[in-house]
Structure 1
Amino acid sequence: MTRYVAFLRAVNVGGRQVKMEALRALFEQAGLKNVKTYIQSGNVIFDSGSNSTALESKIEKLLEKNLGFDVPTCIRSVAEIQAVLDNNPYPGIVPDKDLQIYIAFLQTLPGKEAAAILETMQNDIETYRMNSREVYVLMKKNTGASPFSNNYLEKKLGLVATTRNLATVTKVTSF
């Protein structure tokens, strides 16, 4: 059995409300073991003997059938998430009220043009770094500018993504 985290996109935003108890029950009905959730933003931790690609498809179909709306899902093993944390391109930076680190989990590997696209998105407020299926965003806060947007990142890359702050990504590895 492998310990996984399913990062669900756009759960409990924009009228797409899901109680965490109901989410845990759906994952358990799907045969997943030791199911836990972390905060209300769609982070589900569980054990499974299946691979992550098969799980993404299975969970997306299950959620659409039972919730009535599409829930894009990005799954990583806890070991993969630890590697994401270990490869943080902003070592030594501690997020605070003025600075935040986000990690966008991409559902698929980006094409060769992704790095160039991210380069065009850089500005004085946001810095982007990509590593495999993750995009790290270092963002200055409280600048008066529009904050980082997962929708904007998805639109620019043409890929499904879901984003969490560094604290959340760190926390889900401890369940």
Structure 2
Amino acid sequence: MTGYAAFLRGIMPSNPNMRNEKLRAVFEGLGYEQVTTLLSSGNVTFQARETASATLESRIQKALNTELGIPGGTLIRTRDQLHDLVASDPFPGLTHCRETYLTVTFIKGAHLDLAAVPKDESPSPTIRVVAYDEAAGAILSIIDNTDPNTPAFMSWVEKQYGKDNVTTRTFLTVQKALKKLDS
């Protein structure tokens, strides 16, 4: 069995069909084991027989849409991908706080145009892209949360890669997902 984390787009806990217990039920109905949810924003960890991430993404998204009416955006990462990302210490010496968010933007697909990733030259002055983790398919960035213009970066990312092909989590959430997979 392999450990996976699913990062779902557009989950709103106020929607009864998007609550954690319903999300877990969909994953369990697909035959996945040790299904847990993290926070109330579409983070699910589970165990499955080793399968390609793209196959898992498609299967899970179809079930979420059919059973709960959740339209799109399932991104899967393996426990090993998350472990290597966290172990690389991509934000050395920085602390996630109310004013400064350390973020991980996962992008669907293994082959990205690395030239399009704006390292040190962000499309928004409130965002600084610090790295691209190829193995995890993730743009790593620091958000100045004191400025209300931070959505400009997400708009840029969605335009570059497609709305259903990206999702952003804080580095703390990624660390918590890894901890769930390791427990």
Instruction: Indicate the residue corresponding to 1:55 in structure 2.
Output: 56
TM-score (norm 2): 0.84
Residue type at the aligned position of 1:72: G
Does 2:175 correspond to 1:170?
A: yes
Asked if 1 retains the 8 angstrom alpha-carbon contact of 2:101 and 2:145, the reply is yes
Residue type at the aligned position of 2:142: L
- State how many pairs are aligned: 174
Asked if 1 retains the 8 angstrom alpha-carbon contact of 2:83 and 2:178, the reply is yes
Q: CA deviation at 1:58?
A: 0.7
Asked if 2 retains the 8 angstrom alpha-carbon contact of 1:104 and 1:162, the reply is yes
Deviates more, 1:152-161 or 1:26-35: 152-161
Between the aligned partners of 1:116 and 1:30, the Cα distance in structure 2 is: 36
Between the aligned partners of 1:100 and 1:109, the Cα distance in structure 2 is: 25
Between the aligned partners of 1:10 and 1:88, the Cα distance in structure 2 is: 28
Q: CA deviation at 1:13?
A: 7.2
Indicate the SS of the match to 2:101.
strand
Deviates more, 1:77-86 or 1:41-50: 77-86
Asked if 2 retains the 8 angstrom alpha-carbon contact of 1:5 and 1:45, the reply is yes
Asked if 2 retains the 8 angstrom alpha-carbon contact of 1:88 and 1:136, the reply is no
TM-score (norm 1): 0.87
Q: CA deviation at 1:59?
A: 0.2
For structure 1, list consecutive stretches of 5 or more residues without a partner in the other structure: none
Deviates more, 1:150-159 or 1:36-45: 150-159
